[in-house]
Amino acid sequence: MLRRPHTTEPPAVPDAPDRHVGGQVQLLRPPGAKIWCSRCTPHRGVIGSEGSVRQEVPLARKPRQKLGEILVGLGVVTLAQVDEAFAAARARGMRLGEILVETNACKEEDIAKALAQQFSVDFINLDVVSDMNKIDKARIPADLIKKFLVLPMAGSGKLRLVIHDPMDIDTLEMLRFRVGEFEQAGIASKRQISSYINGGAKAEGPPRKQLAGDSMDKSIDMNKSSIDRSAKSLDIDDDGPIRRLVARIILDAVNGRASDIHIEPAEGHIMLRYRIDGVCVEIEKLQKNLQNAVLSTIKLMAGVNIAERRIPQDGRIKFPVPEIDHMGEPVYKDGQPVINQIDFRVSTCPAFYGESVVLRILRPDSVRIGLLNLGFEQDSLDVFNKIIRRPNGIFLVTGPTGSGKTTTLYSALAILNTPDRKIITAEDPVEYNFNGINQVQIREQIGLSFGVVLKSMLRQAPNIILIGEIRDREVADIAIQAALTGHLVFSTLHTNDAPSAITRLVDMGVKPFLVASSIQAVLAQRLGRVLCPLCKMIDDAPDPKFLKLVDIAPEEAMGKVMKAVGCPNCKGTGYRGRKAIFEMMIMNSEIRELAFQRAGVSKLRAAAVRGGMRSLLGDGRIKILKGVTTPDEVAKYAQIEGFDPSEVTKR
Ligand SMILES: [Zn+2]
């Protein structure tokens, strides 16, 4: 069950004309407006085009009366019995109702009656004829009735079901996958439901645990068409609690500028974390009993096999997300809220407490940010613009995973993507789709390797090719061959700095003269957090240790170096967004000569600096003195020798 602390946040619009009618927030505002009902349960969401509430996210629940209190109120048990049963239930990991029935303190029907009161639905007594007549078994398949121990109520229109356990969200959610939406119209005891199914014969239903297992198995082997149906119905308009929870997790992550969502089952809970500006942040602990339903929902949305839990799987989700501005308000265009279809790459991995799932958000907007926003200083940008317009040669971008290499390359492609140029890419994975660019997804498992794709690509007479990553000698050789035969080649390598790219290629077995003649430039980059513009302040006493690390003299720092403070705009972190720091090595005759001679990294680096290369640290230094970021951030990301990044984390 989704629980969040009651919010004290004021309504976004103080005089919001929202009304609370019969448990629903009535909206008198234009589509897309943010809604808050401050009178009772606060709601947050975006209004759909017909004025209906879309993506409504309940932030708090009305407290329900406790089951024990209801039973005492009904005169079924005494307070002492409840207390005793509660202690036993806790000790044995069982539910209060189960203990009370087991100890003969009350009957199953008493629990069902109390549950019905607790959940404000009808109690159905299947031992009396009038209630039995309310049932129409023909409305859902018999196997579902037997498996899930539910009974459909007679009538037409929306399916109304009599259930026995409203708390078993897993089972109810699985049932929803099978039969679509239904209303929990009544509660009957499990004993009565099974005896009704078995034609009135006294029969005990299977124990609860086993039942949940059965229904799970059943939904796993559901046929293709029901998967399609369920997948289609996984729209955020649907009010299934699990789907709503998953939708809320995704929307919160996107709106919170997260780059990925981590759902990690632990012993007693599921940990939900977002990575924001490169740092993992714990968001909340979800209840353990939601685990199967949440994981199944995400896997179904991602189009992977939900029955397979033993091997890692990859999938994709496309999810509509309303665009919001920096104040969290929806963005309109022509009177309509702007909805972005955001892609998520989903990967599942079996872990000890269950499958761990990561959703990586592939943001189309981060491609559109433009080269200047990437973090280039004007002089570097001029050089970069010149290099990417050369007719041939190799342009490499290097850095560890998550350093923004792809974004830089895509930004370059976006500039070069004109009708007079043919551009082909070979990527693993294709992260963003471009109009007018032929993008090929590498699939090693069916033999579509980088090597195979590249060879066929070259027969298609492109002007520009992008190779996701140079992983081995074969790919490196093809890239060089392409560059030497009149193509401009973009690719990435995993090296820490620009000069190392040369030695890495030679180490792969590429002939030094080929490296020397084909490479045009190597760009190394890192992403560093940018100070929040609303709360950053001049640092009156910057830490001399960090200043020394980034090579800034204390007198130079005075009045220029800024520090992180923290405000609502940056969620108290003091940072908002990231920019790259760069090190761009342009090949010149001296560097080519050194490459040809198989010179080491330090010699290459010295030559590059003589040729005008600004190091990662040098670029970071400029950004510190401009007040864009802090010495701590640059020290952390420039990977200065002898520097322990954990010192920054400790601060
Ligand atoms: Zn701030």
Centre of ligand 1 from the C-alpha of residue 42, in Å:
26
**Where is pLDDT greater, at 399 or 276?**
399
**289-323 pLDDT, tens digit each:** 889 999 999 999 998 998 888 889 999 898 888 87
Whole-number pLDDT of residue 419: 86
Neighbouring C-beta atoms of residue 356, cutoff 10 Å: 20
Centre of ligand 1 from the C-alpha of residue 536, in Å:
7
Whole-number pLDDT of residue 603: 95
Going by pLDDT thresholds of 50, 70 and 90, the confidence category of residue 328 is low
C-alpha 556/C-alpha 540 separation (Å) is: 12
Centre of ligand 1 from the C-alpha of residue 408, in Å:
26
Centre of ligand 1 from the C-alpha of residue 393, in Å:
43
Is the CB of residue 388 less than 8 Å from the CB of residue 463? no
Q: Measured at the alpha carbon of residue 326, what is the angle toward residues 434 and 322, in degrees to the nearest 5?
A: 55
Centre of ligand 1 from the C-alpha of residue 630, in Å:
14
What percentage of the chain exceeds 70 in pLDDT?
80
Task: Identify the CA nearest to 632 among candidates 618, 606, 610, 650.
Answer: 650
Report the chain's mean pLDDT, rounded to a whole number. Answer: 79
Centre of ligand 1 from the C-alpha of residue 6, in Å:
24
DSSP per-residue letters across 540-604: SS--HHHHHHTT--HHHHTTT-EE----GGGTTSSEEEEEEEEEEEE--HHHHHHHHTT--HHHH
Centre of ligand 1 from the C-alpha of residue 377, in Å:
24
Whole-number pLDDT of residue 99: 87
For the cut 70, the answer to whether the pLDDT of residue 505 exceeds it is: yes
C-alpha 628/C-alpha 651 separation (Å) is: 19
205-243 exposure pattern, b = at least 16 Cβ within 10 A, e = fewer: beebeebbebbbebbeebeeeebebbeeebebeeebbbb
Centre of ligand 1 from the C-alpha of residue 564, in Å:
8
| Cα-Cα-Cα-Cα dihedral sign, residues 113, 116, 117, 118 | positive
For the cut 90, the answer to whether the pLDDT of residue 490 exceeds it is: yes
Centre of ligand 1 from the C-alpha of residue 567, in Å:
4
Q: Which of these ranges, 86-100, 308-322, 460-474, 542-556, has the smallest mean pLDDT?
A: 86-100
Centre of ligand 1 from the C-alpha of residue 110, in Å:
55
Whole-number pLDDT of residue 640: 56
Centre of ligand 1 from the C-alpha of residue 542, in Å:
19
**373-394 pLDDT, tens digit each:** 788 888 999 999 999 999 999 9
Q: Which of these ranges, 48-57, 203-212, 280-289, 593-602, has the smallest mean pLDDT?
A: 203-212
C-alpha 245/C-alpha 275 separation (Å) is: 19
Task: Identify the CA nearest to 203 among candidates 212, 211, 215, 194.
Answer: 194
Centre of ligand 1 from the C-alpha of residue 594, in Å:
47
Centre of ligand 1 from the C-alpha of residue 340, in Å:
26
Residue 133 has which token pair?
A: 């007549």
Going by pLDDT thresholds of 50, 70 and 90, the confidence category of residue 487 is very high
Residue 250 has which token pair?
A: 């995704």
Centre of ligand 1 from the C-alpha of residue 10, in Å:
20
- Chain Cα centroid distance, residue 260: 4
Centre of ligand 1 from the C-alpha of residue 101, in Å:
56
Centre of ligand 1 from the C-alpha of residue 531, in Å:
8
Q: Whole-prediction pTM value? A: 0.56
Centre of ligand 1 from the C-alpha of residue 201, in Å:
68
Crossing angle of helices 291-302 and 224-233, rounded to 10°: 100
C-alpha 55/C-alpha 434 separation (Å) is: 29
Centre of ligand 1 from the C-alpha of residue 576, in Å:
7
296, 427, 629, 630 from 562: Cα distances, Å: 46, 39, 7, 6
Going by pLDDT thresholds of 50, 70 and 90, the confidence category of residue 335 is confident
Centre of ligand 1 from the C-alpha of residue 282, in Å:
19
Whole-number pLDDT of residue 73: 87
Going by pLDDT thresholds of 50, 70 and 90, the confidence category of residue 241 is confident
